Amino acid sequence: MLALCPGTVTKKRAERVLPTPRSALTKPTAGVSNMASSRICSIEGCNKTIVGANPPLCPSHYYRNKRYGHPLAGRTPDGEPLAFLKAQVETDRTDCIPWPYAKGDGYGQVRFEGRMWRPNRLMCQWAHGIPPTDTHEAAHLCGNGKQLGCVNPSHLRWKTPQENTDDKVLHGTIPIGENAPSAKLTRDQIYQIRALEGVISQEQIGRRFGISQCHVSSVIRRECWAWLSED
């Protein structure tokens, strides 16, 4: 039987168990520094914890790399949203100018002087001055706030919360009446309740329509459904 040199066996075993260097497994990506052994994202300036070591990227950059093929792709360049907004201040357009950087609802956000702003509020302040009070809202005369995030300065005005709500009712951008999620009555029932005022007691009206006496009182005094005329 052929005897093998002990040194030869040890060398072959060592060759089988030696790990392959990570640098040989990971292809370098443009814009990514060589920090594979670190727990910090390898993108310069990003100090977030990595989600995986191959490549060593934080969740945000990992998602962009997976979706777009590069960890810096699919990102709005710094300063671009603010530059877009400033360019609209002197516009002579009469149509809506949608906010193109919205995420989620149409309003979006923009950074200015170290804080985040709603674009419509910042535009309203640039175009029409500071609000009369801290509670005034940048109302959309066009009704395309949440839908488009319109930033046309001619479509914006400072209004009180109640005035802004009244505008939304006129524009049909908020559910009212029987279309409201919390509605318990229909338009016809409101007319019936108002017609029964003074005929029977509010308690009796409440039992007839399955609502409380306080609710009946609010309907009769126009504290709710105030927008519904008697026509």
pLDDT of residue 204: 95
pLDDT value for 20: 35
Neighbours of 215 (CB within 10 A): 19
What's the confidence (pLDDT) of residue 201? 95
The pLDDT profile of the chain, 231 residues, written as one tens digit per residue, is 444 444 444 444 334 333 333 333 344 444 444 444 468 888 877 888 888 667 888 888 888 888 778 887 777 777 889 999 999 999 999 999 999 887 666 678 899 999 999 999 999 999 999 999 999 999 999 999 888 899 999 999 999 998 998 888 888 887 777 777 778 899 899 999 999 999 999 999 999 999 999 999 999 998 888 777 775
Copy the structure tokens of residue 215: 């609710």
The secondary structure of 40-101 as a DSSP string is B-SBTT--PBPSEETTEE-HHHHHHHHHHSSTTTT-PPTTHHHHHHHTTTT----S----TT
pLDDT at residue 158 in the model: 97
pTM for the structure as a whole: 0.55
Q: What pLDDT is recorded for position 103?
A: 66
